[in-house]
Structure 1
Amino acid sequence: MPILFGVILLDLIGFGIVIPILPFMSPELGADKIDIALIIVTYAACAGISGPFWGRLSDRLGRKPVIMICLAGAAVSYGLLAMASVLWMIFAARAFAGVMAGNLGVASAMMSDLTPPENRARGMGLIGAAFGLGLMLGPLLGGVLAGDNGSFTLPCLVAGLMSLLAIIAAALFLPESVTAERRAASHRQHRDGSGQPLFTMLRETGNRMLVFQFLLHAAAVSSLTYLVPLWLGDLLDWRAREVGMVFGVQGAIIVLLQGGLLGVLVRFVGEWRLLRICILIFLCGLALAVFARTTGWMLSAIFLAMSGASLCMPLLNTITSYRIPAVFRGRMLGTTSSASSWGRVAGPLLAGVNLALFGYTGAWLGCVFIVLVYLTWALTAEPSLRRASPGTPES
């Protein structure tokens, strides 16, 4: 678990470096706000297409080689981004990065392999803590490397270096979590065609609506991530350095919540009740953003919304891992990762259109509507999530 945490952390620091960079890098090459949304959508759409593939491949070949392949792809994509001199090159770099973005789904499947059910939420919280640290250290590093002059080549190269370091760490220290027997079973199903089609598997395990919540969650979070740099830039005249510091502080909060408090909260409250509370906190932060116009209220809205949202994903992953046979775990978590990617397609597009038509008030209200649907499901769907899944859920 600590080794997996370290590998994913290195990768996510590189991912985090470009978060405060792209909204300011792209306009220098002629992009407007809609173009920035389309750049985010390009990455997410490619990740949505490739996510189930990486999950299935990790069931057949093992988690470790797939993680290393995806890390190599990330390193190449950052190098392409560093060389971007016209707008289409940014689109191409982010499209390739999306195709290779299978790590989080595969890492979640590996963490599920490594943890017994009673410690699963804590293990998923470690993945979330790695994301939080990456969100803290990456944007801070990206903002510092960009400097006052807004140089973007160096941050992109350093992001690529972080992925290369993660490959080395994985090669040297990361063990394989999928047993030879499970890999052989997955190979047999692939070879003789006995494996269930994806939609059949989701229907028979009762997980179709659960997968849809990954899409809703990601749509809301990606809308938030898209809007925050533009919001702070337009209303407060902040640049990459200041935006990076905001994400850095939020990353520290996420580390505290997911790395320290999540396991304790799950023991006292339970996964399902805690998920409802976190979605409600997410909703309150977005509702506050609708009315916030001063620095203090704007930052409060950002931190409240992101803190609530950050705890939802490990809880959703934990619930998902309980509801799928181990032999399909990579495939299922690859599917939920793909659903999240399609949410990251829909979110920035919706936010970008709302921003162009109705300003920031309309854009934030669109986010509020998405999370209201998400909360409605959480308040009404508990019985269906407690049905037993076909097959053996753990092995």
Structure 2
Amino acid sequence: MAGGEAAAPLLEKKTAVYREGCPGCAVERRKTLNPGVPYKEFFHIWTIILVSCLPISSLFPFLYFMIRDLHIAKTVEDIGFYAGFVGASYMLGRTLTSTAWGMVADRIGRKPVIVLGIFSVFLFSALFGLSVHYWMAISTRFLLGSLNGIIGPIRAYAIEVCRPEHHAIALSLVSTAWAIGLIVGPTIGGYLAQVSMETVVIHELLYPILINSYYVLRLLF
């Protein structure tokens, strides 16, 4: 370069403007000031995914016994048939509403959808534990899946709270937390259901599945 002058950049770097009261601006400012891995936000994401997954997967060890005690199946061979509908009702509700919840999260923000999803886990898991009729069990599971639109917004949130070089870690964290929930959930559900069914007093007063739901929710919240 003639005269030893430094080459002028082709594109001028624009100065970031942050507005007060803007949640997105606050996130971008935090990412600029703290370029490292956002461990605090990642821990919150991990906890939310675990909260969402544990009550969902914890029912499968005792679902057979629940259908048997509801006396909906005329023969033992039919128990698996009816149990399949209860297990599938959650995913049916989730399939029908996941896209809609993603659109809602884009419109009103991630946090309201995530909070509603956590509240739905707490409410409908408890109602599922109180189910004394087969259709009540299916309805509560379906409503849980319909109102629990956490996965899409939480993935978007995981991307938004970290810098581009940490996006892969954020998304893998969501998948890992979900996998841990699928492993731990059935273990906890099977153990608590066995304990509650072996306790004669509890078995006579409350449905054992309610005991399981109560302790799972207490563990989470």
What letter matches 2:43 in structure 1? P
Q: Give how far 1:78 is off.
A: 0.9
Counterparts of 1:1-395 in structure 2, within 5 Å, are 1-29=42-70, 30-31=72-73, 32-147=79-194, 149=197, 151-161=208-218, 165=221
CA RMSD in angstroms, aligned pairs only = 2.0
Bigger helix share = 1
Is there any run of 5+ residues in structure 2 with no aligned partner, and where?
A: 1-41, 74-78, 199-207
Cα shift readout 1:244-296 (whole Å, capped 9, x = no counterpart): xxxxxxxxxxxxxxxxxxxxxxxxxxxxxxxxxxxxxxxxxxxxxxxxxxxxx
- Contact 1:108/1:127 (8 A) holds in 2: yes
Q: Which has the larger radius of gyration?
A: 2
Question: 1:162 and 1:62, CA in 2 relative to 1: closer, same or farther beyond 3 A?
Answer: farther
- Deviation of 1:106 after TM superposition, in Å, equals 1.5
Change (3 A) 1:13 1:40: closer
Point out the more displaced range, 21-30 or 45-54. Answer: 21-30
Tell me which amino acid in the other structure corresponds to 1:155. Answer: N
1:84 partner amino acid = S
Measured in 2, the distance between the counterparts of 1:141 and 1:157 equals: 12
Distance 2:147 2:182 in 1: 19
Q: Secondary structure at the match of 1:102?
A: coil
Q: Deviations over 1:167-205 (max 9, x none)?
A: xxxxxxxxxxxxxxxxxxxxxxxxxxxxxxxxxxxxxxx
Amino acid aligned to 2:216: A
In structure 2, give the amino acid aligned to 1:62.
G
Provide the residue aligned with 2:7 in structure 1.
none
Q: Deviations over 1:94-120 (max 9, x none)?
A: 111111121112111111223444432
Q: How many angstroms apart in 1 are the aligned matches of 2:60 and 2:152?
A: 20
Once residues 86 and 194 of structure 2 are traced to their aligned partners in structure 1, the CA distance between those partners, rounded to angstroms, is 23
Structure 1 gaps of 5+ residues are 166-395
Q: Percent identity?
A: 24
Moved over 3 A (4+): 115-118, 159-163
The alignment's TM-score, normalised by the length of structure 2, stands at: 0.66
1:76-131 deviation line (CA, Å, top 9, x unaligned): 11111111112111111111111112111211111122344443222111111211
Q: Partner residue of 1:333?
A: none
* Partners of 2:154 and 2:60 in 1: CA distance: 21
